[in-house]
A = this chain, B = another copy of it.
Amino acid sequence: MIDLLKRLFPICRSITGDGVRETLAVLRERLSALTIHEIPSGTRVFDWTVPDEWNIRGARLTGPDGEIIADFADSNLHVVGYSEPTDRVLSLEELQAHLHSRPDMPEAVPYVTSYYARRWGFCLAHKQREKLKPGLYHAKIDATLAPGSLTYGELLIPGKERQEIFLSTYICHPSMANNELSGPVVMTEIAQWLLSKPRRFSYRIVYGPETIGAITYLSRNVDTLKERVIAGFNLTCMGDDRAWSYLPSRKGSTLADRAALHVLKHFHPDFISYTFLDRQSDERQYCAPGIDLPFCSVMRTKYGSYPEYHTSLDNFDVVTEKGLQGGYILIRRCLEALEANNVYASEILCEPQMGKRGLYSTLSRVESTNGYTTNMMNMLAYIDGRTPLLDIADTIGLDIFQCAGMAEILLEKQIIRQ
């Protein structure tokens, strides 16, 4: 995963433009069924309008002595996202209104955008900014802001059931590793794993720009999503190895939340639990009133809660293969938990006689009770033809994978049926 991430890292993504297309083209090498959608600028999507497309070829800020202050070629973070084209000479005083830096993080180049108001600007390390001397500066941004389209990728993986699990990630941030490239990278690994064998549920995977992409996607698919989606997850901030995090859906107790909490409690009990008030990503749209999808986020370290967030320091010191693997396994376990979340009924009234089936010690001694037998009898005590396995697992204090293993044996012995 880290190799894919490094390959995607230099591409200058924004909410529209060729950077998005190039990113999707790389992903399509791995996911041939990925469909690319182009939505024309000006298209009305609920309260919003798809903006003009932004493309940038280069940008450079040159100082009084001709020295290069900031160059797009070095890092795409140096240019304010959606900067309008400019080619001006101006004094340091005039320039300051177009500069962005973080006094609290003097080494970092901050990530700044101005999608919906025409501006131009350069971002640089505060340390460097403080050294700028009076004089005339040349700001040149070779970009275009013109009608075009918004691009997103969609992958539908049909399963045995028509009910869907919805996975969404975003591809609108330039060179930053945890937020956001870890999301699409883990998503791609998950998609390949999902495609590796037939699944119970259908899967809907979307790669689009954050906010405007989610709103655009919803404006075209909301009825289908509301009809089919039983659980959804936002894949973001999946790549560092410092924490495990959960941000609930608006309602807080959807199937997605229950699966996420089950996996986190069993495998990462020290996870950080946020509230819906801490949201800043696409659950804002997917959980909006009237949309109300069962959609939550499970993350490594949450956006906004680590110092490198939205700066040039969100790089490969932050994101590691180990971090990405952790994120991948976390999401995979959530999906496996959902796939395993069957409802079973007993074929038998009262306890089955386990001994005659070799599932219980025939010799009754105080010391012959073992944990496995106890777990199996506990699971049977709650199999009632109504309660999903996830809830039974929570009740008897096991993880759903242990329960699913035991259910296999009980199915085989015809003690229970699905």
Whether A363 and B114, one on each chain, are in contact in the complex, defined by CB atoms closer than 8 angstroms, is: yes
- Interface flags, A256-272, vs B, CB<8A=1, else 0: 00000000000000000
Whether A365 and B290, one on each chain, are in contact in the complex, defined by CB atoms closer than 8 angstroms, is: no
Q: Does A199 contact B (CB under 8 A)?
A: no
- Interface flags, A82-98, vs B, CB<8A=1, else 0: 00000000000000000
Q: Does A143 contact B (CB under 8 A)?
A: no
A27-35, A147-155, A378-386: which lies at the interface: A378-386
Closest to A104 in B: B367
Q: Does A411 contact B (CB under 8 A)?
A: no
A364 to chain B, nearest CB (A): 5
Q: Does A193 contact B (CB under 8 A)?
A: no
Closest to A284 in B: B351
Whether B116 and A353, one on each chain, are in contact in the complex, defined by CB atoms closer than 8 angstroms, is: yes
Q: A397 contacts which chain B residues (CB < 8 A)?
A: 277
In the bound assembly, the distance between CA atoms of A310 and B367 in angstroms comes to 11
In the bound assembly, the distance between CA atoms of A350 and B225 in angstroms comes to 14
Number of interface residues of A (CB under 8 A): 60
Q: A115 contacts which chain B residues (CB < 8 A)?
A: 362, 364
Given A46-B350, A348-B46, A350-B218, A363 contacting B289 (CB threshold 8 A): no
- Interface flags, A363-401, vs B, CB<8A=1, else 0: 111110000000001100111110000000000110000
Q: Does A13 contact B (CB under 8 A)?
A: no
Q: A367 contacts which chain B residues (CB < 8 A)?
A: 102
- Interface flags, A326-357, vs B, CB<8A=1, else 0: 00000000000000000000101111110110
Q: Does A323 contact B (CB under 8 A)?
A: no
Closest to A123 in B: B365
Given A291-B349, A350-B285, A381-B288, A364 contacting B276 (CB threshold 8 A): no
Whether A349 and B276, one on each chain, are in contact in the complex, defined by CB atoms closer than 8 angstroms, is: no
A396 to chain B, nearest CB (A): 6
Given A277-B378, A355-B117, A215 contacting B350 (CB threshold 8 A): yes
Q: A310 contacts which chain B residues (CB < 8 A)?
A: 365-366
Whether A351 and B396, one on each chain, are in contact in the complex, defined by CB atoms closer than 8 angstroms, is: no
Whether B47 and A353, one on each chain, are in contact in the complex, defined by CB atoms closer than 8 angstroms, is: yes
A108 to chain B, nearest CB (A): 10
Q: A145 contacts which chain B residues (CB < 8 A)?
A: none
In the bound assembly, the distance between CA atoms of A114 and B279 in angstroms comes to 60
Closest to A348 in B: B47
In the bound assembly, the distance between CA atoms of A14 and B349 in angstroms comes to 24
Whether A112 and B364, one on each chain, are in contact in the complex, defined by CB atoms closer than 8 angstroms, is: yes
Whether A350 and B291, one on each chain, are in contact in the complex, defined by CB atoms closer than 8 angstroms, is: yes
In the bound assembly, the distance between CA atoms of A138 and B289 in angstroms comes to 79
Q: A47 contacts which chain B residues (CB < 8 A)?
A: 348-353
Q: Does A100 contact B (CB under 8 A)?
A: yes
- Can you report 6 A-B residue pairs in the complex whose CB atoms are below 8 A from each other? A46-B349, A48-B353, A112-B364, A277-B378, A279-B381, A288-B350
Q: Report, nearest first, the 6 A-B pairs whose CB atoms are least far apart.
A: A117-B362, A289-B384, A47-B348, A113-B364, A47-B352, A285-B350
Taking A114-B362, A218-B349 as given, write out 4 further A-B residue pairs in contact, using a Cβ cutoff of 8 Å, ordered by the A residue number. Answer: A47-B353, A48-B353, A115-B364, A290-B349
